[in-house]
Amino acid sequence: MKLGVMTVLLGNLSLDDTLKYLKSLGVQQVEIGCGGFPGKAHCNPEELLKDDKKIAEFKNTIEKHGLEIA
């Protein structure tokens, strides 16, 4: 079993800073809010779905911290 956290709890931080912090706590997976009630502080689906470069950058940011998307 892997430990995961929903990133919207840290919506006041950048995605990079959020992932760095969560990794330091031993988190292994992240669930990223992308609209609706949780908001989209770390992931705006309208932007990502229109731009392959932004999707790659988003995925690379998560991977560079050794985390997985839950």
Helix (H, G, I), strand (E, B) or coil at 3: coil
Average pLDDT, the chain: 95
Instruction: State the number of CA atoms in the 13 A half-sphere of 29 facing the CB.
Output: 7
Q: What is the tens place of the pLDDT at every residue in 26-52?
A: 999 999 999 888 899 999 999 999 999
Backbone angles phi, psi at 31, to 5 degrees: -110, 125
How many other β-carbons are positioned within 10 Å of the β-carbon of residue 41? Answer: 18
In the chain the beta strands, taken as DSSP E runs, fall at: 4-6, 29-31, 68-69
Tokens found for residue 16: 């990079």
Give pLDDT, residue 70.
92
